[in-house]
Amino acid sequence: MKIAVLPGDGIGPEVTREAVRVLEALGLADLELTYADVGGAAYHRTGHPLPVETLEIARSSDAILFGAVGDPTCDNLERHLRPEQAILGLRKELGLFANLRPAKVFKGLEDASALRPEVAGAIDLLIVRELNGDVYFGEKGIRTLPDGRRQGWDMMSYAEDEVRRIAHVGFKAAQGRRGKLCSVDKANVLETSQLWRDVVCEVAADYPDIELSHMYVDNAAMQLVRSPGQFDVIVTGNLFGDILSDQASMCVGSIGLLASASLSEGTLGLYEPIHGSAPDIAGQGVANPMATVLSAAMLLRHSLGLEAQAARVEAAVAKTLADGVRGADLGGSHGTAQIGDAIVERL
Ligand code: IPM
Ligand code: MG
């Protein structure tokens, strides 16, 4: 079982370290970890945020454990050299098109949510975000119009096969859960969304057991706060999924708790916390590693087929929270390594 570990920038290395400790504590035979540079860390060392060597290590692994990328000292670099290009490049190059972002309130954390406890307590949803298309990967630029004004532009598009394959992921995920799929788009304004909606409806014919609904993204943002308990699986495009998943994290209580899996057509997957590099708290040992530990659990489940071990890790995190261990993100005083210790102890 070959795992590429890409800690990256900011708090990435700190939280990744704890997730690796948890994986090692499981005592799996044949676990082979290979570390590689990515993001700003890679740029500073090699001049590129996604060195060829890193890409090859990732490509030849069974799974990738990813920390975070983002480094304010790189903000003024040309776009193709910025740290974010590393994660976008990995997603595209490795065909990681399906991003699963589960959001569920842990017992005892209802009070941590930005929502009222009785509203937050009902959250158990999965965002399935398309990851290889949309305005993220279209042509873009800043040009000067004939009258001298500058104009920024980004091309948004989805081809039907791109919509179809992510729709299948959404429907299948719903089959393994409560049987409800909500497709989020902006079909009242965007042609890209109209095609998205048409294709999702076509795919629905294969899944008569699933209750399909459609929602405009603005309404979805509102409903996520008003009554998030209504959602089971949400399937949406790259940009809307990016925004809604950050919003869902605060409904759950902390962005420090949300894991994600980015999956390809095969078993190769990349697993990362959704929180990013958080440069403001990097290096202080205060970041909550739980999102990364939960991402490692998803790695065990989706790429290595180790469901029992995945469930063990998730139970250990839930127990750690139930026992009152809280990082600063949840108003507590436990540091990164302390939280890692507590999880390992409960394994
Ligand atoms: C995420 C992040 C990335 C994205 C950034 C770092 C490029 O916000 O994974 O949600 O926009 O997809
Ligand atoms: Mg994001």
In testing the pocket of ligand 1, which one of 84, 99, 127 has its CB within 8 Å of the most ligand atoms? 84
Q: Which two tokens stand for residue 302?
A: 């989706």
Give the residue-averaged pLDDT of 19-30.
96
DSSP strands (E only) in the chain:
2-8, 32-35, 63-68, 98-104, 124-130, 140-144, 150-154, 180-185, 211-216, 233-236, 259-263, 269-273
Q: Read off the pLDDT band of 152 (50, 70, 90).
A: very high
Strands (DSSP E) along 54-123, which ranges?
63-68, 98-104
Ligand 1 touching residue 84 (CB < 6 A): yes
How would residue 344 be classed by pLDDT, with cut points 50, 70 and 90? very high
Q: Is residue 329 a contact partner of residue 114, using CB atoms and an 8 Å limit? A: no
pLDDT at 304: 96
Mean per-residue pLDDT, 285-307: 97
For the question of residue 136 being annotated catalytic, the response is yes
Express each pLDDT in 202-251 by its tens digit: 999 999 999 999 999 999 999 999 999 999 999 999 999 999 998 998 89
State the pLDDT confidence band at 107, using cuts at 50, 70 and 90: confident
Burial letters for 151-175: b for 16+ Cβ neighbours within 10 Å, e otherwise? eeeeebebeeebbeebbebbbbbbe
Is there a contact between 93 and 119 (Cβ–Cβ < 8 Å)? no
- Rounded to 5 degrees, what are φ and ψ at 62? -85, -25
Which residues have CB under 8 Å from 52's CB, separation 6+? none
pLDDT, residue 25, reads: 97
CA of 242 to the centre of ligand 1 (A): 6
Instruction: Answer whether residue 325 shows pLDDT above 90.
Output: yes
Would you place residue 112 in the very low, low, confident or very high pLDDT band (cuts 50, 70, 90)?
confident
User: Which pLDDT does position 269 carry in this prediction?
Assistant: 98
Q: What is the rounded distance in angstroms from the CA atom of residue 262 to the CA atom of residue 128? A: 10
Mean of per-residue pLDDT scores for the chain: 96
- The pLDDT, as a whole number, for residue 85 is 96
Closest CA to 5 of 324, 333, 299: 299
Over 90: is that where the pLDDT of 110 sits? Answer: no
Whether 124 is in the pocket of ligand 1, judged by its Cβ within 6 Å, is: no
Q: Which ligand is nearest to the CA of 132?
A: 1
For ligand 1, whether the C-beta of 4 sits within 6 Å is: no
- Nearest ligand 1 atom, CA 272: 9
Task: Express as a percent the part of the chain with pLDDT over 90.
Answer: 95
Q: Give 46-105 pLDDT, tens digit per residue.
A: 999 999 999 999 999 999 999 999 999 999 999 999 999 999 999 999 999 999 999 999
218 catalytic? Reply is yes
The yes-or-no answer on residue 186 being catalytic is yes
246: annotated active-site residue: yes
Residue type for position 66: F
Q: Is 92 a catalytic residue?
A: no
Amino acid symbol at 265: E
Work out the pLDDT band at 318, boundaries 50, 70, 90.
very high
Q: Which residue has the tokens 């595209």?
A: 92
Of 186, 207, 232, 329, the catalytic one is 186
242 C-beta closer than 6 A to ligand 1:
yes
| Whether residue 177 has pLDDT greater than 90 | yes
**Closest ligand 1 atom to 69 CA:** 6
pLDDT-derived band of residue 254, with 50, 70 and 90 as boundaries?
confident
Residues 6+ apart with CB under 8 A from 317: 106, 290, 293, 294, 297, 343
Domains, the chain, with CATH or none: 1-97+264-347 (3.40.718.10), 105-258 (3.40.718.10)
The reported pLDDT for the residue numbered 242 is 95
Ligand 1 mean position, distance from CA 207 (Å): 30
